[in-house]
Amino acid sequence: MHFHVEVRNLCKDYPGKRALIDVSFGVERGEIFALIGPNGAGKTTLLRILDLLDEPSSGTVLFRGAEVDYSIKDRKDLRRGIGMVFQRTVLFNMSTFDNVAYGLKVRGMSEREIREGVKAALELVRLQGFEGRNALALSGGEAQRVALAQALAIEPELLLLDEPTANLDPRNASIIEEVLSRVNREGKTTIIMSTHNVFQAENLAHRIALLNEGKIERIGAFQDIFERPHRFLSEFARLENVFSGFSKATPEGTSIIDVGNGLHIEAAFERSGSVIVHIPPEDIILSTRPIVSSARNTLEGLVVQISDLGSIVKLKVRSNRDFTAQITKRSFNDMKIGLNSKVFLAFKASSVKMI
Amino acid sequence: MSKPKILIAVLIIAIFATGMLIYEQQFLLKPVVMLATTTSTYDSGLLDYLMPKFETKHDTRVRIISAGTGQAMEIAQRGDCDLVLVHCRDLELGFVNGGHGIRRIGIMYNDFVIIGPMSDPAGIRGSSNATEAFAKIARGGGRGDAIFISRADKSGTHMLELSIWKRLGMDPSNKSWASWYLAAGAGMGAVLRMANEKGAYALTDRGTWLSFKSQLANMAVLVQGDKILLNPYAIILVNPERHPHRNYNGAIALAKFMISEEGQGLIANFTKGGERPFMPIARNLELAEALGFPNQRDELSWYDARPQ
Amino acid sequence: MESPFIEEVLSITLLSLRVSGLAVLIGALAGVPIGTILGFKRFRGKRTLMRLMDVALRSFVNTLMGLPPVVVGLVVYLLLSSSGPLGPLRLLYTPTAMILTQLIMVTPIIIGVTMSAVGGVEESIREKALSLGASNWQATWMVLREARMGLLTAIIVAFGAAISEVGGIMMAGGNIRWFTRTLTTAIVTEVELGNFALAISLGIILLTMAFAINLLLTIMQLRGVRG
């Protein structure tokens, strides 16, 4: 048996930069394979090579054991079995229906097949009734779901996704995650996706590859990789609210973790020694007045960065360490927060998760 | 765009292009005589009055290119027309002597007049000596009283103006004249309007003056009747040996029409603004010879001997 | 007004439309593909020589965009003149010569605007189409489709330049009454004759016509925005 997709000794050089260095791995048919790594690790480069948009500088790509020869015909034929969702949502300036139908049209399918294919794909991403809307007028989350429907409409054997939920609000992100696990379960679609979200990888992927500076650092199941702290994780810039530190168990069955810079965090687990913890941004309560609550951790800081993601707003708050908090657009507007506003943060000990 | 839409677009373009070709054919079916002439001749309206009569009679189309005298001669020299109707003796003779044209024959004349402001600061009114009037204008200019506007475009009118300055031994390109001698580089109509605005003197052919007179409230004809102000028009055929593809016979037919009793009569009766700007000379041998057509008799009999 | 006058104005107007319309049509048929090729980033070579040639070509197109019409008219005149290399075609002083003049004038404009329109539609559109299984042709067509606003702008700009141009068609067409006289050259003639009122009327016809056509194209553009 061959791997569905296999790469051997893949290298990709750009002028002045080595984007991929000797990357080798194989992905089984029906497997979900996640690429995790910080920005610039080479995730996008690798996915582009797998979608045959770029050629590797050296090394080989094999589909079902057959080496890709990069002739125009070979590229097109192979690509017809591959769906790709790009990190930056790209849609055509036409109706949602026409966008999703495009892949079917270029395959010369009949009107009826196209209608049915589009209907099924839009149902899958829960965008029934959006057919007539212009795709460029959709919200960020809807647009990314249309992009996913475009890739799904062609019923690909292999689905490539480049950070499909980056910058999406949790509702749209969870719809996409659901769709991915469903097509993998029901259609046996092989999925290779890059993500910066470790929990997404844990929830979805059968296997994970850690990519850093163009090299694969580790490959394996989630537990194998994350059972002990990995040096690499501390460099994990994109994952928010990740801190490494020394944990001390308390008599109450919790732990106090010294994460540096004079900051101590209380966590609901009992552990002594080096740990890496993560606090999900949506678990942090943010206020403009001092917070009196049962939460074990309270901090005070200044807003240093504001990212508007549509219905939600992410705020970077500088305290002893930097924290990212997530609030709705409405409360953001109500609280009249701007850059350098003084805010207070609170989170429960149970929100502090060890990774 | 879908495929049927592209097809429709291509179809429309094709119909459009074919339609245009057919439209063009309609002009190509009739023989064409190409006449190059000067802007002032064309602007007089004489040709628009004469040519339809020739076209009906001969079932021919006359296409008229009007350009500056220099450009008209250049067009003829390159073989881009069949004959020329011009009025600049030196250029005409050069053209014939250079072998570019043949059968130069006098057709008609009009005259030039010196116009100027009613107030006439240079005091030239009533004189019939153009040279003397120019000298007075130059003196007035030197005093700062008078302004002269020149076509400065190498037109027949400009050439005549230069020859008058030359008789006086004066050179308009002289820098000290810049304060009152304005080189416009424009057509006759534009110069007349400028003169009206600035209260300046100018040399103009009577035809253009007549057509603009009503718009030039402050201007009057001050000097006229000098023999050097007479402006004879000649027809010259483009040399068929140089340009064998040209419509030589068509050119002869048109020339014959212009010098025929009928044509000459039409020229004499052409009126503009209540006056008759052109006097026929083709069959007035004495006058023609005096106006610079020494071979008028021979040319006339050559043309008359050609079959219709 | 008497009917021959109306007939003449009509024939002048139709000729203006015919000459400028055909020049822009043919110019678009040639200019859009060339502009597309030049606009595509992937055609830009990696080697220094290729890049130099690319820069030179672009600068050349941009220079041609600013060609003075009279110069184009003179060149066409010299080419088509009986004594010129293309003299035997007997095209001088015909509407065809005028179309040729305006064609030379508008094609660089169409190439230039197409170039930036296609360049502005990101490479991501092409890759997206390819990744959905499109052939190279289909992907290129998709880029053109996405750049359609820019292409329409190219047509509008080119038509505006063509219909209002005088010097070039005067040289190549000769401003022959009933044959090569257009609205603009007729205006020049009427001004020369002192018929300012008539010249202004012709100017208003020219303006109205240009407005009508631009209105049409702009409506198409607005519909295009909605997809």
CB B182 within 8 A of CB B199: no
All residue ranges of chain B with pLDDT < 50 are 1
pLDDT, tens digit, 9 for 90 and up, residues B68-122:
888 899 999 999 999 999 988 888 999 999 999 999 999 999 999 999 999 999 9
Rounded Cα distance between C108 and B141, Å, is 50
CB B278 within 8 A of CB B270: yes
**Mutation test of the interface with chain C: which of A72, A93, A134, choosing the one with the most C Cβ atoms within 10 A?**
A93
Q: Which residue of C has its CA nearest to A150?
A: C132
Name all domains of chain B by residue range, CATH numbers in brackets.
Answer: 11-110+232-305 (3.40.190.10), 111-229 (3.40.190.10)
CB contact under 8 A, C81 and B1: no
Average pLDDT, whole number, for chain C? 87
Chains contacting C (3 or more CB pairs within 8 Å): A, B
Report, in angstroms and rounded to the nearest whole number, the Rg of chain A calculated over CA atoms: 22
The partner residue sitting opposite C146, judged by closest CB among A80, A92, A106, is: A92
CB contact under 8 A, B1 and C95: no
Taking CB atoms and an 8 Å cut-off, how many pairs form between chains B and C? Answer: 62
pLDDT at B21: 65
Q: Say whether the C–B interface has 3 or more Cβ pairs within 8 Å.
A: yes
C125 inside 8 A of chain A by CB:
yes
C222 inside 8 A of chain A by CB:
no
**How many domains, chain C?**
1
ipTM: 0.76
pLDDT at B1: 46
CB contact under 8 A, C21 and B13: no
Q: Which residue of C has its CA nearest to A14?
A: C46
- Which chain C residues contact residue B65 at CB under 8 A? 93, 174-176
SS3 C107: helix
Name all domains of chain A by residue range, CATH numbers in brackets.
Answer: 5-226 (3.40.50.300), 238-278 (no CATH), 281-354 (2.40.50.100)
Q: How many CA atoms lie within 13 A of B16 on its CB side?
A: 18
CB contact under 8 A, B245 and C82: yes
Both tokens of B308, joined, read 């219709």
CB A271 within 8 A of CB A255: yes
Percentage of chain C modeled with pLDDT above 70? 94
CB contact under 8 A, B24 and C96: yes
Rounded Cα distance between C227 and C222, Å, is 9
Instruction: Tell me the three-class secondary structure of chain B, residue by residue.
Output: CCHHHHHHHHHHHHHHHHHHHHHHHHHHHCCEEEEEEEHHHHHCCHHHHHHHHHHHHHCCEEEEEEECHHHHHHHHHCCCCCEEEECCHHHHHHHHHCCCEEEEEEEEEEEEEEEEECCCCCCCCCCCCHHHHHHHHHHHHHHCCCCEEECCCCCHHHHHHHHHHHHCCCCCCCHHHCCCEEECCCCHHHHHHHHHHHCCEEEEEHHHHHHHHHHCCCEEEEECCCHHHEEEEEEEEECCCCCCCCCHHHHHHHHHHHHCHHHHHHHHHCCECCECCCEECCCCHHHHHHCCCCCHHHHHHHHHHCCC
Q: What is the distance in angstroms between the Cα of A209 and the nearest Cα belonging to chain C? A: 24
CB contact under 8 A, C124 and A94: no
Chains contacting A (3 or more CB pairs within 8 Å): C
CATH number at residue C96: 1.10.3720.10
pLDDT surpassing 70 at residue C197:
yes
Instruction: Tell me the three-class secondary structure of A198-246, residue by residue.
Output: HHHHHHHCCEEEEEECCEEEEEECHHHHHCCCCHHHHCCCCCCCEEEEE
Tell me whether strands B101-117 and B279-280 are parallel, antiparallel or unpaired: antiparallel
Q: What is the distance in angstroms between the Cα of C22 and the nearest Cα belonging to chain A? A: 30
Both tokens of A54, joined, read 């770029």
The H or E element containing residue C204 is helix C196-226
Residue B14 one-letter amino acid: A
Q: Which residues pair with B173 in a beta bridge?
A: none
pLDDT surpassing 50 at residue C86:
yes
CB contact under 8 A, B190 and C192: yes
CB C180 within 8 A of CB C174: yes
All residue ranges of chain A with pLDDT < 50 are 229, 234-235, 237
Q: Which residue of C has its CA nearest to B80?
A: C82
Q: Say whether the B–A interface has 3 or more Cβ pairs within 8 Å.
A: no
The partner residue sitting opposite B65, judged by closest CB among C83, C93, C189, is: C93
SS3 C156: helix
**Residue-number span of the structural domain to which C205 is assigned:** 3-226
CA-angle at A164, arms to C134 and A117, nearest 5°: 45
B179 inside 8 A of chain C by CB:
no
Rounded Cα distance between C57 and C79, Å, is 24
CB contact under 8 A, B212 and C194: yes
pLDDT surpassing 60 at residue C43:
no
The partner residue sitting opposite C227, judged by closest CB among A53, A134, A150, is: A134
DSSP per residue over A104-160, as a string?
HHTTT--HHHHHHHHHHHHHHTT-TT-TTSBGGGS-HHHHHHHHHHHHHHT--SEEE
Q: Which residue of B has its CA nearest to C94?
A: B24
**Mutation test of the interface with chain C: which of B3, B12, B20, B210, choosing the one with the most C Cβ atoms within 10 A?**
B20
pLDDT, tens digit, 9 for 90 and up, residues C49-65:
777 887 888 888 888 88
Taking CB atoms and an 8 Å cut-off, how many pairs form between chains A and C? Answer: 58
Both tokens of C119, joined, read 């360049």
Q: Which residues of A touch C (CB under 8 A)?
A: 51, 53, 72, 76, 79-80, 82-84, 86, 88, 90, 92-95, 102-103, 106-107, 134-136, 150-151, 154
C226 inside 8 A of chain A by CB:
yes
SS3 content of chain C, % helix, strand, coil (to 5): 80, 0, 20
Q: What are the φ/ψ torsions at residue B274 (nearest 5 degrees)?
A: 80, -5
Q: Which residue of B has its CA nearest to C192?
A: B189
